[in-house]
Amino acid sequence: MNKVLFVNKPKGITSFDLCFRMRRVFNTKSIGHTGTLDPNATGVMIVLIDKACKINQFIVKDTKEYIATVKLGFMTDTLDVDGETIKKEEYRNPSKDEYLEAFKKFIGRYTQIPPMTSAIKVKGKKLIDYKREGKAIEIPKREVEIFNLELLEYFEDGFKFKANVSSGTYIRTLMKDILESMGLIGTLMELERTSVGSIHLDMCDNLEDIIQGNYHLHDIYDVLKDNYEVIDYPCDIDIRNGKRIKLDTSSDEVMIVKDKEVLAIYGREKGNIYRSIRGLF
């Protein structure tokens, strides 16, 4: 089938469970996705079917947008509502200006320490597995980029904000860091991913509709065309054989096609010589 599906993941199921259901709908074991959402998180998930799984590495780098709802005054061991409460304290009700000043501190690049509940691997094992086993492990820091933070609402015991971030950013960690800069603690109550790159929530199909056979499949070409310069290369045999090619373009990475069939992503090696990063035919 080699197609892509945009799904509005509902609350209460894991990303693995969603893919398992897609295997049954499309009668194939070759199902992948481009970014995990926690069970209680909702929103955009990009599901890859059959050979479309090859494009995973070219989508996971996309910027993402989230809407998060936070409650003040307590913290859990997972930083979200699924965890066990480990700390409570009296809290004040910050003003709008206080929130906005705190947001300014995090615009741009900053270093995060991912939560122990993440799927990041250290020494070949996921952090969440170390947590389940009760083992201490040094968590590697990572640099992320925050493009924009917008305060949507603020109320007596919490706030709601929108975040445009680089791939790999943990919103619960961002929330924790923002609150620490304000002398507060809190817990992530709700999280919705509203976009991944150019794919927005209103483009997604609901899970129940998909199960009933009502869905929209997307070609690899249409999914990637906004991310790369598209070059229709005359000699597709060279591309299929993975040969280096010469291109007259300023782009460091390009998508090579033949009559809208996506053949490969090529990257600049030196000067105007490009090599294949991944064949997609």
**What per-residue string of b and e applies to 67-89 under the rule 16 or more CB within 10 Å gives b?**
bbbbbbbebbebbbeebeeeeee
Q: Which of 38, 77, 157, 219 is catalytic?
A: 38
Which whole-number Å values give the CA distances from 108 to 30, 103, 201, 277, in the listed order?
37, 11, 25, 29
- CA 208 – CA 137 distance, rounded (Å): 40
For residue 275, the cross-strand partners are: 267
Q: Is 38 a catalytic residue?
A: yes
Do the beta carbons of residue 173 and residue 187 sit within 8 Å?
A: no
CA-nearest of 137, 140, 139, 164 to 150 is 164
Query: In the chain, what is the straight-line distance between the N-terminal and C-terminal CA atoms, in Å?
Result: 13
Q: Which positions are annotated as active-site residues?
A: 38
